[in-house]
Chain A
Amino acid sequence: MSRLDFEDVTVRYGHHTVLDGVSLTVPEHQIMGLVGESGSGKSTLARAAVGLAPLSRGRVLLDGRPVQSQGRRRPIQMVFQDPSSSLDPRMSIGRSIAEALPERLRRAPQRAEIARLLRLVHLDPDRAADPPARLSGGQRQRVAIARALAGRPTVVLADEITSALDVSVQGAILNLVREMQRDSGLTMLFISHNLAVVRYVATHVAVMAAGRIVEQGPTDRVFAAPATAYTRKLLASMPGGGPRPGP
């Protein structure tokens, strides 16, 4: 069981309402895409789920229970947009991953666990001692994903995890996300402003605008027959503006 429910979640900063009564269910063992323009509140929704944004109303439930935000066991993990700022530049990648392990291990089992996680994201375990500066952007994002998985989460929130990367690397990260989900049955909230990316990884999609969910449903249905003008506008703005003629 690993269903994530947002119930009437409202976040206000001063007089500015960022999230306005959002109710959303991320179905278990599925990837749910969350699309919308900047400022629509996508990231804040994810941050609210892990206690980084204060709720002024509503609640976030994991399998019907309030999300635990104290102690070392955190069932919800998050991967951030920019891997160069989400890894401590002064810590080796191995230590960054070790920090997220839910229990303290002895040296040898810890090293084995780090190696397992690095292999899981297709990185050479021998690089555990490297600082993030020695890694490329795509490799750093793999480390960030490994760190999120180290906490043995049941839900992973991915906030624009490919938008700071080159397109050539983006493809590899997207393949990795799909592979992870398929192998471990993770529940995932995948935030992106790129509809084609969301279409590729997510089975369900929710469209956000101005702090509210305007439309949600299975990805193929929403993208093939959008119910709102806003979703249609988003679809129309994709480069190329539609299917490209074949050869």
Chain B
Amino acid sequence: MRRRRPEVLRTPLGIVGITLLVILALLAVLAPLVWGDRATATHTDNMLAGPSPEHWAGTDNLGRDILFRTLVATRLSIVLTLAATIFGVGLGLLLGMAPLLLPRRLGRLVVAFVNVLLGFPSLLMVLFLAVILGVSTTSALLAIGIAIAPPFARLVYALGAGVAERDFVAAARIAGVHPLRIMVRHVLPNIAEPLVVNATVTASSVLLAFGGLSFLGIGVQAPQFDWGRLMQDGLAIIYDNPLAALAPGVAFVLTGLALNLTGEAAAGTFGAKSRIRTTRSLTERRSVSPRSNTRDADTDLVLDVRDLEIAFPGPYGPVSPVRGVSIALRAGEAVGIVGESGSGKSMTALAVAQLVEEPGRVTAERLTFCATDLRSGRRTAHDALLGTSLAVVFQDPMTSLNPVMRLGSQLGEAARRHQGLTRRQASARAADRLRAVHLSDPERRLRQYPHEFSGGMRQRAMIAMGLMGTPRLIVADEPTTALDMTVQRQVLDLLQEIRRKHGTALLLISHDVSVVSSICERVLVMYAGRIVEDLPAADLYTQARHPYTRALIGAVPEMTTDLDAPLATIAGQPVDPRHVPDGCAFAARCPRVTDRCRQEEPTLQAGPAGTVACWHVGDPLPAETKEVAVG
């Protein structure tokens, strides 16, 4: 892999910060060598002079040049800052890692100790320690180091404990790796980024703290001098020569700025990796849509999607995870979409719910929900419609419920906003809805937080939230994948019951063919952003023609699967949306591939049941896949 420019250097903030740091480092190394003599040379004939061409910032009470003294002081100031920071950060690392390495009880004691130390204001601690340890540069260094250690220890412990709970640490423990080694090899590298950022920012406060101590006379002692000391000298003559105090002051500001900007820029680049933007994208009208209104909208259709495309900007041109998908759902109809991860099935669901995140672009020849065109840009106008008529259920109910809000407020929120219900009405409706999804004791549940619920209960609460309005369509994206078999059955039964009772349409997305076929009437199979087969669920096991569909069916063991034969597998990898091949996207993994498949892309054609996009529909089924069909 080619080395790229570090990300810190790609932001203006980072460039300024790093440049300043480099200049300071050069000064720290060179200034004492070049100007060392001039900074300490006394001139009794020229004491306390103002700025002049020879002495730009004037001279001090011994006639020494203040500008050169400030430049030369860079080394001591920075060396002390770094030394105190390194000492403090090192101490913090030890204190922070100790509870993770020590036996549980001893570890708790260390945590308590750190917490007590955190209770003291750090400046107070510095002054206290500086006085106890005596007045010298070393004791000031120790004092500052000890003062910054507790907050850093706390950070190390909090981040480290999070990583230590992960499975790869457990795996290393099982493999017999020594705890100290686990710490160095697995835990520290995974928390290094925030620690580095924090250490940089800490360094700038150490600089100030050290300057402060020197200024107060309990830091650096004469004849040594740092910026804090120079500032104090300058303060005495500030009315005669303001530059005497300002010059070291400017040095403080620039150094602090350099450290903070660098830290900030580093934090920005690290943070950006985990940040998710939640803006909702506007659905746009397709630029090329000559047939836009040629076909009349079927008024029975709850959802009518034609030629849906989703594109994300990529470094080498737009990437399209969904390419020309059409779905139509009537009231009360249940349609399932199956496919592997990356097939575009979840993206399709998100587009229907108008939840594709920036910078994704959704285009479609038709995108109509309850006879309303969702492509027009006024998304606020659709909010009420989507809020009451569309319910979305996601895979992980824990991440889709707000952990710090009681269930009642979360359920009531949408109803109060879109249906104008009062708090009391909303609460009564919420209780009623919880009863509808068979949660026991709904009034008590409303006052509980999501963590008090089991996975299945949360998923039901999520469905209940969708039922607060009177949804015409439920979009369920892997609603049972995180659940047990028994709970899965209950959730699927519940969706089925709602559909029967209210004539709600259901769009169910799953990677598991058996889940989809158990409650849907029609199954759409997606591969590489396209629908490759569309057939009635009842015919799925017997009439599926696309090799991909057949492989998906064969890969799932059932209670009747032949135990002596290996399970069907799909060779190779799913298509990367960035590199969609010409011809049939499945060609590279297909056992029946011919030259035609690699050159021409098949379109959906009528098959024995439903439609299928494969050049080999007419061919007789090979023997080994026939066997799969029985299972």
Contact = CB atoms under 8 A, between A and B. Distances in A.
B176 A200 contact: no
Contacts of B49: none
A50 B631 CA distance: 37
B171 A86 contact: yes
Interface in B169-186: 170-177, 185-186
A77 B174 contact: yes
A55 interface: no
A90 interface: yes
A59 B567 CA distance: 37
A136 interface: yes
A167 B552 contact: yes
A25 to B, nearest CB: 21
- Interface residue range, chain B: 35 or more
Most buried by B among A80, A90, A239: A239
B515 A239 contact: yes
Interface in B574-631: 574, 629-631
A195 B569 contact: no
Most buried by B among A70, A88, A196, A199: A88
A141 B248 CA distance: 59
A188 interface: no
A109 interface: no
Contacts, number: 170
Nearest to A162: B557
Interface string A21-42: 0000000000000000111000
A61 B485 CA distance: 31
Interface in A73-95: 73-74, 76-78, 80-82, 85-91
B486 A144 contact: no
Nearest to B558: A196
B340 A99 contact: no
B514 A147 contact: no
Contacts of A169: 340
Contacts of A89: 190
Interface string A193-231: 111110110000000000000000000000100000000
Interface in B233-261: none
A233 interface: yes
A166 B631 CA distance: 19
Most buried by A among B190, B340, B554, B629: B340
Contacts of A167: 511-513, 552, 555-556
Nearest to B492: A239
Interface string B440-484: 000000000000001100000000000000000000000000011
Contacts of A200: 557, 561, 563, 567
Contacts of B171: 78, 80, 86-87, 100, 144, 147-148
A112 interface: no
B270 interface: no
Nearest to B455: A38
Contacts of B560: 243-244
A174 interface: yes
Most buried by A among B168, B573, B630: B168
Interface of B: 166-168, 170-177, 185-186, 189-190, 340-341, 454-455, 483-489, 492, 511-515, 517-518, 541-542, 551-552, 554-561, 563, 566-570, 573-574, 629-631
Given A37-B487, A193-B484, 20 more contacts: A37-B485, A38-B483, A71-B176, A72-B176, A78-B171, A78-B174, A86-B167, A148-B171, A167-B556, A168-B511, A168-B555, A171-B568, A196-B556, A197-B557, A236-B489, A237-B485, A238-B485, A239-B488, A240-B514, A247-B629
